[in-house]
Amino acid sequence: MTPMEFPKTVKLRSGKEIILRPMESGDEAALLHFFQSVPAEDRMFFRDDVTNPAVIRRWARTIDYERMIPLLAFDGDRVVADASLHRQASSWSPHVGEIRVSVATDCRGQGLGTALAREIFHLALSLKLEKVMAQMMSCQNAAMAVFVSLGFTQEAVLKSYVRDQRGAKHDLIIMMQDVEDFWKHMEDAIAESHRDSSGDYRVS
C-alpha cells in the first residue's frame, strides 16, 4: 500500500468523532458485527453473504492491498462503515478502480460516506488510477444519489444482469468518475469543510 497518514479523524455533523484506517486482520470480529447489523434490505445487494463468519474470516486472512484496499471507520471499538478500492493491475483496465461503500444506518446522512469516498479518491490518485467506477442495482436510489453528489455519471445499464441475495433480477448501473475531475468537483465542498490544525476532517 502507498504511504498514507492513517489513522485519520472525521468529525461528523453530529459532532461525533470517527477514526478511519485500513482494515487489519485483527478487525475480523468487529467487521463481522458491523455487517451483521446492516439491515437485510441493504445486505440484499451485497455480492457475498457478509453475515457468514467464514466469509469475513477469509477477507481478514487474505488482505492483499494490491488487489483491494479496505478502509474501516470506527466509533470507539465499533466499526460504523466500510469502504474499499478494488483494482486489477493485470487486466484490460489497470487504470480503473472500483469503489464500494457501506455506512451503518445510524451514521448515514452525516457526511461519512462522502469522507470515505474522498479517502478512496486520495488512494486512487496516489496509485495513479484514472477512473473510479461504482456499481449498483437500479433500485439503490440512495446510493445513486450519493454517487451523483460526488460527480459520478451513469455510463451503462446492463439489463437484468444481477441477482440480489433473494434471487430477484435487477438492472446493473455502472457509474464512473475521473480521478482528476473528482477533485475539481469536490473543490467547493472541501473549501466548505473545515480542516483543523492536525489536518483531520471536519464534515460541514
Ligand X SMILES: CC(C)(COP(=O)(O)OP(=O)(O)OC[C@H]1O[C@@H](n2cnc3c(N)ncnc32)[C@H](O)[C@@H]1OP(=O)(O)O)[C@@H](O)C(=O)NCCC(=O)NCCS
Here's the x/- map for ligand X, 141-160, by CB under 6 A: it reads as -xx-xx--x-----------
Q: Residue 102 corresponds to which cell in the numbers above?
A: 457501506
- 146 burial level (CB within 10 Å; 0-12, 13-18, 19+): buried
Query: Closer CB to ligand X, residue 22 or residue 151?
Result: 151
Query: Closer CB to ligand X, residue 27 or residue 201?
Result: 201
Q: What angle do CA 173, 81, 147 make, to 5 degrees?
A: 30
**Closest distance of CB 22 from ligand X, Å:** 18
177 counts as binding ligand X under rule CB under 6 A: no
**Closest distance of CB 152 from ligand X, Å:** 11
- Taking CB under 6 A as the criterion, the residue among 50, 101, 124, 127 binding ligand X is 101
Q: Residue 3 corresponds to which cell in the numbers above?
A: 504511504
Closest to 135 (Cα-Cα) out of 22, 64, 45: 45
185 counts as binding ligand X under rule CB under 6 A: no
Query: How many residues are recorded in the chain?
Result: 204
User: Any idea which residue has 462503515 for its cell?
Assistant: 81
140 counts as binding ligand X under rule CB under 6 A: yes
8 A C-beta contact, residue 103 and residue 92: no
Strands 96-103 and 131-137 come out as: parallel
**Closest distance of CB 175 from ligand X, Å:** 9
**Closest distance of CB 108 from ligand X, Å:** 3
- Taking CB under 6 A as the criterion, the residue among 17, 28, 42, 130 binding ligand X is 42
Q: Which residues bind ligand X (CB under 6 A)?
A: 42, 100-103, 108-114, 134, 136, 140, 142-143, 145-146, 149
